[in-house]
């Protein structure tokens, strides 16, 4: 049976301007997920969340966030196998809720993918700047830092004196060019970088874990010093912040139309990458807070600080820097990939001009959409700080996860007889857990993040009113019913 015959749902929306090649297998999909997940979470955000919110109990924060991710991941796996088409949560919302909800979630996913690429490019720039300094090359701050800063609220924007974060722009442009060449080449490069950074993370855990100091982990839950700072409230706030560290496993579902056997391979890719990264995160959090006191980890390079705290591990520091640069590169690559496929799907369905759904005849990739994503991500990465961008990514992703879990409930009710190659266990408990945990983490995010989310959706509604209402196609899907029992 040909790869294109492996479909339980047939998209009959007319107007496809090209086909994406099915070249990705289970290994590529797991590597795609790990490539997106392991990056800023381990190399940047874990240290900040421990120092400012949870202390050594950051491990509990990871466990709380993982509960929401596992529940959402199981729901993603069911919908990805049931609806094996490019578009991720956007496509699932189209099927479950209709056009308006599809636009809302598609616009929301721009916060997850394009802004994730921008966010991580800023972290990449910081590590690259330090790496170049070690090589004797000092990059001027005016060309390597964000010109805008924010102290919290939507209007609390100030100038830093810098012109543009040029390294952040440069890495986005380079990786976008790689995506234009083709997903097979991109996936191969991503797979190699994933192996390298996972190997370095494993080395830090392997050699660092036996050397942790019990004194650094006492008290495990520091006494509360105010709202969101230590104590159990700090643990829950940290869970919403380090949720950014888990973003990426859902990117696997975006690759549905480029997977050789999506019904089988997508659940393997989603759950496999999520399981591997959860274990690595917990072990890495224990190692970091055990090697160095949590109060010293609120820096841009917490893993380096943790390694420097133990003289026996100083030989690992250069490798950590290489791992950080490599790890962040794969996150940017996968985030850009995810956004280009979202734009492809939205343009295919009429929400965006058809020029963005055209497949380049030479490279068999959506070149125009890739160029648009490149410009969008480069502008934000070059102008804004990592804190503002990271919180936008988290709230956008959490909203997407809530809607995916809700979509499983809706389709189980409205389409009970549809063939489901993968079924979310413990239904309806698992989707409800995903909705509750992800919703609670959204609620714990700062008020300024909610203000920016509202403004973002107002812009999206204007675009939908001016273009999407008159051009978007009606969602018509033909489902293949399950065989009689």
Q: Cα 246 vs. chain centroid, distance in angstroms?
A: 7
For residue 325, count other CB atoms closer than 10 A to its CB: 19
483 phi, psi to nearest 5 deg = -65, 150
- State how far the alpha carbon of 209 is from the alpha carbons of 116, 289, 320, 456, in Å: 30, 10, 15, 43
DSSP 310: S
Structure tokens at 253: 């579902």
Q: What is the pLDDT of residue 150?
A: 67
Higher pLDDT, residue 356 or 2: 356
Q: What pLDDT, in 10s, does the model give residues 215-224? A: 999 889 988 8
Distance CA 224, CA 394 (A): 24
- Residue 6: inside a domain: no
Asked whether the predicted pLDDT for residue 5 surpasses 80, the reply is: no
Please answer whether residues 115 and 31 qualify as being in contact, where contact means their C-beta atoms are separated by less than 8 angstroms.
no
Q: State mean pLDDT over 437-448.
A: 81
The number of CA neighbours under 13 Å toward the Cβ of 182 is 11
How does DSSP assign 146-193, residue by residue? -SEEESSSTT-EEE-S---BHHHHHHHHHHHHHHHH-HHHHHHHHHHH
In angstroms, the Cα distances linking 319 to 116, 237, 278 are 24, 31, 22
pLDDT band, very low/low/confident/very high, at 28 (cuts 50, 70, 90) = confident
Q: How confident is the model at residue 241 (pLDDT cuts 50, 70, 90)?
A: confident
Separation of alpha carbons 384 and 100, rounded Å: 30
- For residues 18 and 304, the model is more confident at 304
Binned at pLDDT 50, 70 and 90, residue 304 comes out as confident
Q: Look at residue 175 and tell me if it is in a domain.
A: yes
**CB-based contact 258:190 (threshold 8 Å):** no
Query: What band does 6 get if pLDDT is binned at 50, 70 and 90?
Result: very low
Inform me whether the pLDDT recorded for 435 exceeds 90.
yes
Over the chain, what is the mean pLDDT?
78
The pLDDT score that the predictor gives to residue 287 is 92
Q: By C-alpha distance, which of 36, 27, 113, 18 is closest to 397?
A: 113
Give 72-87 pLDDT, tens digit per residue: 888 887 887 777 665 6
What confidence score (pLDDT) does residue 160 get? 76
477 within some domain: no
Separation in Å, CA 387 to CA 198, 241, 449: 25, 10, 10
Asked whether residue 315 is assigned to any structural domain, the reply reads yes
Assess contact for 345 and 383: CB atoms under 8 A: no
Please give the residue that has the higher pLDDT: either 457 or 89: 457
CATH code for position 224: 1.20.1740.10
140-154, 307-321, 339-353: range with lowest mean pLDDT: 140-154
**What's the pLDDT band for 478 if we cut at 50, 70, 90?**
low
Residue 11 lies in a domain: no
pLDDT score for 106? 84
What pLDDT digit, counting tens, does each position of 324-352 carry? 887 788 778 878 887 887 888 888 888 88
Segments forming the whole domain that contains residue 38: 28-138+146-472
State yes or no: pLDDT of 162 exceeds 50.
Answer: yes
CA distance 69 to 212: 28
Query: What pLDDT shows up at residue 345?
Result: 80
Q: How far apart are CA 116 and CA 45, in angstroms?
A: 13
Per the structure, the count of domains in the chain is 1
Angle between helices 367-383 and 166-181 (to 10 degrees): 170
Give domain status of residue 155, yes or no.
yes
CA distances in angstroms from 162 to 23, 130, 138, 141, 374, listed in the order given = 43, 17, 15, 6, 22
Provide the pLDDT for residue 172: 92
The predicted model scores a pTM of 0.73
**pLDDT surpasses 90 at 169:** yes
**Worst-scoring range by mean pLDDT, 53-62, 239-248, 315-324?**
239-248
Tell me what the mean pLDDT of segment 363-376 comes to. 82
Q: 224 in a domain, yes or no?
A: yes
170 confidence band (pLDDT: 50, 70, 90)? very high
pLDDT of residue 141: 84
Span 291-299, average pLDDT? 87
Cα separation, 478 vs 393, in Å, equals: 33
Domain-located, residue 363:
yes
């Amino acid at each position: 049976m040909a790869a294109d015959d492996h479909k339980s749902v047939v998209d009959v929306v007319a107007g496809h301007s090209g086909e994406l090649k099915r070249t990705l297998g289970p290994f590529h999909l797991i590597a795609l997920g790990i490539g997106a997940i392991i990056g800023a979470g381990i190399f940047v955000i874990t240290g900040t969340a421990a120092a400012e919110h949870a202390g050594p109990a950051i491990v509990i924060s990871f466990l709380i966030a993982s509960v929401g991710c596992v529940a959402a991941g199981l729901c993603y796996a069911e919908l990805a196998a049931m609806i094996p088409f490019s578009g991720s949560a956007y496509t699932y919302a189209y099927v479950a809720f209709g056009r308006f909800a599809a636009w809302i979630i598609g616009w929301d996913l721009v916060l997850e993918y394009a802004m994730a690429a921008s966010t991580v490019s800023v972290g990449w720039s910081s590590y690259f700047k330090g790496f170049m300094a070690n090589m004797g090359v000092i990059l001027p701050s005016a060309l390597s830092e964000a010109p805008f800063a924010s102290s919290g609220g939507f209007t609390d924007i100030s100038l830093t004196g810098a012109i543009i974060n040029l390294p952040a722009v440069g890495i986005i442009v380079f990786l976008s060019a790689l995506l234009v060449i083709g997903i097979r080449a991109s996936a191969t490069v991503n797979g190699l970088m994933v192996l390298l950074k996972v190997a370095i993370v494993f080395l830090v855990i392997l050699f660092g874990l036996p050397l942790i100091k019990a004194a650094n982990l006492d008290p495990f839950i520091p006494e509360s010093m105010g709202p969101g700072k230590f104590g159990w409230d700090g643990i829950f706030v940290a869970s919403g912040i380090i949720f950014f560290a888990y973003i990426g496993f859902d990117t696997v579902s975006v690759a549905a139309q480029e997977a050789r056997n999506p019904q089988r391979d997508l659940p393997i890719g989603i759950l496999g990458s999520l399981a591997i990264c959860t274990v690595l995160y917990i072990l890495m959090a224990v190692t970091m807070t055990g090697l160095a006191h949590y109060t010293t980890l609120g820096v841009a390079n917490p893993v380096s600080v943790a390694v420097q705290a133990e003289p026996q591990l100083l030989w690992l520091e250069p490798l950590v820097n290489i791992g950080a640069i490599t790890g962040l590169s794969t996150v940017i690559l996968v985030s850009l990939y995810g956004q280009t496929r979202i734009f492809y799907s939205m343009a295919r369905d009429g929400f965006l001009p058809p020029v963005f759904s055209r497949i380049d005849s030479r490279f068999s990739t959506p070149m125009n959409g890739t160029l648009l994503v490149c410009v969008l991500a480069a502008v934000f990465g070059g102008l804004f700080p990592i804190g503002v961008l990271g919180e936008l990514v988290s709230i956008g992703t959490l909203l997407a996860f809530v809607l995916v879990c809700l979509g499983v409930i809706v389709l189980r009710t409205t389409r009970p007889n549809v063939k489901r190659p993968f079924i979310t266990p413990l239904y309806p408990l698992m989707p409800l857990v995903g909705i509750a945990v992800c919703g609670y983490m959204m609620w714990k995010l700062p008020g300024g993040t909610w203000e920016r989310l509202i403004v973002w959706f107002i812009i999206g509604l204007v675009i939908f009113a001016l273009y999407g209402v008159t051009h978007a196609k009606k969602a018509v899907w033909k489902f293949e019913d399950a065989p009689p029992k």
